[in-house]
């Protein structure tokens, strides 16, 4: 699993001449950062990185909040037609993004949000929260009712029950969802490609795809671009690795 990452690092640190003479699998003769700096300057990678972090972080937080509110109503509130709503959310997760691009593009144009980061944040918040609602609804559907009844007897209203009883109990699951939502949104390509046409709003994946499509990168610069695009998600995963492991194993032992 690590071999592709090692090859990317090797080629990112080579000169084009070394890549041509020694091939892609040979280690670099030295540490050459020309390809990395050239790509950074060509796409304005600092702004691109900020855009991806802003969009992915906002979606992760907002999608988790929306999932909590929806799942609280469906899992604990037991609204009418609960199963039909869950089935609709499950169906929404199976729709390919290619089927959503045109209507979303039309709507963004109508409300003057086209080529803005807020449009992408709204779209992915709704898309990710569909999965989050489906998952959390099954978790909250088995929430201990005596605990809820005890809170009501003590005078807690619905808002207090949500934030003081329910959310602390499912916090590990929410942490897992937040990590997944961040990484999934960071790797998205099609919708950001269609919605973010100006260079100032592009994400990391779009910037990589645009330069490759314009054939403005050689093999070493492509490797440098891939390395720069991978590092933030790897760092994010390493930071929250313990949280992710704790959330995945929560509830396995009673």
In eight-state DSSP terms, residue 114 is T
Domains of the chain: 33-249 (1.10.3720.10)
Residues 184-233: tens digit of each pLDDT: 999 999 999 999 988 889 999 898 887 765 556 678 888 888 888 888 88
Q: Most confidently modeled of 88-102, 123-137, 202-216?
A: 123-137
Contact between 217 and 230 under an 8 Å Cβ cutoff? The reply is no
Q: Is the pLDDT of residue 55 over 90?
A: yes
Q: Is the pLDDT of residue 178 over 50?
A: yes
The closest alpha carbon to 17, from 4, 26, 5, belongs to 26
**pLDDT value of position 58:** 97
Residue where the block lists tokens 């039909």: 84
pLDDT band at 253 (very low <50, low <70, confident <90, very high): very low
Q: Residue 44: left if φ>0, alpha if ψ -120 to 50, beta else—which one?
A: left
0.85 exceeded by the pTM?
yes
Region 62-88: mean pLDDT is 87
Give the rounded percent of residues in the chain with a pLDDT score beyond 70. 93
Q: Is the pLDDT of residue 248 over 90?
A: no
**pLDDT value of position 181:** 94
Region 46-52: mean pLDDT is 93
**pLDDT value of position 29:** 85
């Amino acid at each position: 699993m690590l071999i592709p990452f090692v090859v990317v690092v090797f080629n990112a640190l080579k000169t084009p001449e070394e890549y041509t003479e020694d091939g892609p699998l040979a280690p670099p003769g030295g540490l050459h950062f020309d390809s990395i700096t050239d790509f950074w300057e060509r796409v304005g990678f600092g702004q691109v990185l900020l855009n991806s972090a802003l969009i992915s972080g906002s979606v992760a937080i907002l999608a988790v909040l929306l999932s909590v509110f929806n799942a609280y109503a469906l899992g604990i509130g037991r609204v009418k037609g609960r199963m039909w709503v869950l089935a609709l959310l499950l169906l929404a997760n199976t729709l390919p993004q290619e089927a959503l691009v045109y209507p979303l593009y039309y709507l963004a144009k109508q409300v003057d949000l086209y080529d803005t980061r807020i449009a992408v944040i709204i779209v992915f918040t709704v898309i990710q929260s569909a999965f989050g609602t489906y998952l959390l609804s099954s978790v909250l559907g088995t929430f201990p009712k005596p605990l809820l009844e005890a809170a009501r007897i003590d005078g807690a209203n619905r808002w207090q029950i949500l934030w003081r009883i329910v959310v602390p109990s499912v916090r590990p699951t929410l942490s897992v969802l937040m990590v997944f939502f961040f990484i999934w949104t960071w790797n998205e390509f099609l919708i950001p490609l269609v919605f973010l046409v100006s260079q100032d709003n592009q994400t990391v994946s779009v910037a990589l795809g645009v330069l490759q499509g314009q054939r403005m990168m050689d093999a070493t610069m492509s490797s440098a671009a891939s390395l720069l695009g991978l590092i933030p998600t790897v760092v994010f995963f390493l930071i929250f690795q313990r949280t992710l492991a704790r959330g995945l194993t929560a509830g396995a032992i009673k």
